[in-house]
A and B are shown apart, each in its own frame.
Chain A
Amino acid sequence: MAKRVCIVGGATTPFDYGPTGFENVEKGAADCIKETQKDVPDFHLRDLDFMIYSHFSVHFGHQLCSEWIIHDHLGLCGLPHIRIENGGNTGGSALYGAALSIMSGHHDVVGIVGWETMDSVRQSQGSEFIALASDVRYELMVGGIYPIYYAAMANKWMRDNGLKEEDVATIAVKNKNNAMDNPKAQWYRNDHRYITVDDVMNSGLIAYPIKKYDCCMMTRGTAFMLVTSEEWAKKHAPDNYTVVDGMGLSSCTIRAGDRCGYPSWEKLYGKGYPDMTEFGACRKSAEDAYKMAGITNPKKELDFGEIHDAFTTSEAQIYKALGIADKSNIAKFLRDGETTMNGSIPMNPGGGLIGYGHPVGATGIMSAIEAHYQLSGLATKKHISKKTTVDNAECGIVNSHAGTGTSISNFIFRRP
């Protein structure tokens, strides 16, 4: 019987672009660990028996194996360490790896450090670096950067599902305004203003139907999370741990255009699925996570989520893949504000990638930490006010997402 996995604590540096006060990643990691120790006084670095490093791009890091710098700096030499990289799903995949290591019984106390330093090159160069995760041979030089690929997918999806630009713009409004209650969020620290649907509609074109405010931001940031066995959590953090009740990890094609007629998807979900519109890997990994956690009606049983809103359109596509909305009601679901703090299932109370930021290797860790805060009662303390706390949250979903939907993980977190 696999051991149960718990999240005991975690913290991020402030997310920013340019000077943050945490420029060197190893100091940022140390600060995140110190903050975690404040929340979990029993936790000492000597308790760790495995370290997983979550980092996406060597191009941004201008350093191979930069995890070696951090690990060494933290005084952890001798302890086993590996790095996990899986595009935008790097953080989720690192958590998946940490969970497996605990489930197997081989490790008890696992630290994850995630980071990205995307401000080390110009933004337009950064877009190109990220695009190196598309198929360079067939896609890179035909104008392709990720927002363009996502826009092409979203354009068809929105048409198929009867959605307007204004409908998905509500997601940017929700996430950026939620971030205004989070002092570590990039939107709070930089632009720092509440926005409306009109602001989104009037922001500059990136790739139709995506405008500037529909997009997440490029970010410098670091995160640390402590993942342990249930025994350790019960003994050392009895009042503030969260249980990882279910998890799933799934995969899809690197080139979005190859999602027409892909045999393994059509065998699983029927002819024509996922096309260039649905996130098959999100649906499959969510179904696996629900099954493991015994969830049969996610819309009812999930209290909230921290999900991968690289774009407003993809957050909407994720709602559908998670099974909390379908073609018949997705438009109404958005127009009714079901995922706002006052809705039935708040999504991204922490601000998400659009509000908090997207330092790729740290992003999935940030989402998991925010979900843990909601479930362990820390959200009110970490955020500025109570308005981004999900009242009486018992169960949340954490989603991490890569490529054009090429690798996606989902986790069910529960209050014990």
Chain B
Amino acid sequence: MAKKIAARKVQKKVARKPATKAKKGKPAKGAGKPAAPKAIGAVPRKTIDVKDSRDKSFKKGPGFHKQTWFRPEGVTEPGLNFVGYEIADNDVDFNQFLHYDQLYTIRHGQNSRFFRNLLKGKLVGTKCPKCGTAWVPPRTNCWDLDCDLQETKWVEFPLKAKVHTWTVAGWSGRSSLKKLPFVLVYAKIEGSTVAIANYLLDIKPWEVEFGMPLKVVFVPEKERVGAVTDFHFEPADGWKPGKMTPEKERIKKLVAPIYEWVKTMK
């Protein structure tokens, strides 16, 4: 038991920031977009040796002895804390402020190769040896009931894709607000049956089109975090935006105030 606690203590010295989008510093061309927020890759990294609680207790399965951390300063794990309250003007109603922030370990298990390969700048998925269906994101067992949970094989995919559908976001989750407005596409990686969601960068939001060819672009190796944010889409080389249409004019008009709003964000 003492060993386990010791291992935990090592972990607490530095802690992981929840992954946020790390992207190429290049904003949409001519969009008047402010500089992209600092990528997580910019946070100093530290790789440390740790003891694994498995060393004594369990012999099966791989151990984990190397951790890489890039948690920004100031992101802490204070646990559960009451941090304030407010009293209503009627001197009766009372609200309490509770804060909590937890560190999660996502154990990728059989999906590990997908994330491990992102660090290497490669896209891997899986393929069913029985029916031949291939997927990015991967499935460890085939989805066709006729294949009866056939285990799939890992295969590497080309860094090419096609837009299946798209949207232009003017609002998002707390951690993505400063990236607005952005194009989010569902694209099929060449050879994959299914579409995967990711940002389409290096394009004006109103220029995106159904079926347009894309390339998969990885962030610089030093900035990769082993998550889907390690890559994004960009228009394929040689692609030229089509002529302005009423729909494109409409989107251009809709995003104009978003650029202004984002500038005012702290």
Contact = CB atoms under 8 A, between A and B. Distances in A.
A19 interface: yes
Interface residues of B, number: 57
The residue among B20, B177, B196 with the most chain A CB atoms within 10 A of its own CB is B196
A24 to B, nearest CB: 11
Given A19-B93, A205-B258, A263 B170 contact: no
Contacts of A386: none
Contact count band on A: 35 or more
A156 B174 contact: no
Given A137-B108, A143-B179, A149 B257 contact: no
Nearest to B142: A263
B184 A141 contact: no
Contacts of A165: 250
B176 A143 contact: yes
A127 B199 contact: no
A125 B198 contact: no
Contacts of B197: 138-139, 142, 144, 149, 152, 255-257
Q: Tell me the dominant secondary structure on chain B's binding face.
A: mixed
Interface stretch (B6-14, B57-65, B186-194): B186-194
B76 interface: no
A128 interface: yes
A124 B177 contact: yes
Given A62-B100, A211-B254, A260-B164, 9 more contacts: A19-B88, A135-B137, A144-B184, A205-B257, A207-B170, A257-B195, A257-B196, A261-B193, A261-B194
A240 to B, nearest CB: 36
B87 to A, nearest CB: 13
A142 B173 contact: no
A143 B137 contact: no
Interface of A: 19, 23, 62, 122, 124-125, 127-128, 131, 135-139, 141-145, 147-149, 151-153, 155-156, 159, 165, 204-211, 255-264, 276-277
A147 B171 CA distance: 9
A138 B167 contact: no
Contacts of B254: 205, 208, 211
B106 A136 contact: yes
> Which 5 pairs, one residue from A and one from B, show the smallest C-beta to C-beta distance?
A205-B170, A257-B195, A128-B173, A151-B167, A156-B165
Interface of B: 19-21, 88, 93, 98, 100, 106, 108, 111, 115, 133, 135, 137, 143-146, 164-177, 179, 181-182, 184-186, 188, 193-199, 210, 227-229, 232, 250-251, 254-255, 257-258
B219 to A, nearest CB: 13
B173 A137 contact: no
Contacts of A261: 133, 193-194
Contact of A142 (B21, B93, B133, B250): B21
Contact of A260 (B181, B193, B232): B193
Contacts of A153: 165
Contacts of A142: 21, 184, 197-199, 228-229, 232
Contacts, number: 155
Given A143-B184, A155-B167, A205-B254, A138 B174 contact: no
The residue among A143, A204, A261 with the most chain B CB atoms within 10 A of its own CB is A143
B184 A156 contact: no
A145 B173 CA distance: 6
A31 B16 CA distance: 45
A122 B184 contact: no
6 contacts: A125-B173, A127-B172, A148-B172, A156-B164, A205-B170, A260-B194
A62 B171 contact: no
A148 to B, nearest CB: 5
A276 B164 contact: yes
A277 B165 CA distance: 9
Nearest to B137: A138
Nearest to A136: B106
A320 B196 CA distance: 25
A122 B173 CA distance: 10
Contacts of A208: 167-170, 251, 254
B198 A155 contact: no
A256 B227 contact: no
B91 to A, nearest CB: 15
A141 B257 contact: no
Contact of A258 (B174, B175, B194): B194
Contacts of B227: 141
Given A122-B174, A128-B173, A152-B167, A276 B198 contact: no
Nearest to A153: B165
A159 B164 CA distance: 12
Nearest to B88: A19
A128 B137 CA distance: 21
Contacts of B100: 62
B133 to A, nearest CB: 7
Nearest to A134: B197
A193 B74 CA distance: 44
Contact of B98 (A62, A137, A204, A206): A62
Contacts of B232: 142
A258 B146 CA distance: 18
B171 A207 contact: yes
B175 A141 contact: yes
A262 B196 CA distance: 14
Nearest to B257: A204
Given A144-B197, A148-B184, A206 B174 contact: no
B172 A255 contact: no
Nearest to B168: A208
Given A148-B169, A205-B171, A207-B167, A159 B108 contact: no
Contacts of A143: 21, 169, 172-173, 176, 179, 182, 184, 199
B208 to A, nearest CB: 9
A23 B106 CA distance: 35
Nearest to B251: A208
A263 B146 contact: yes
B45 to A, nearest CB: 18
Given A152-B165, A152-B166, A156-B210, A263 B143 contact: yes
B137 A255 contact: yes
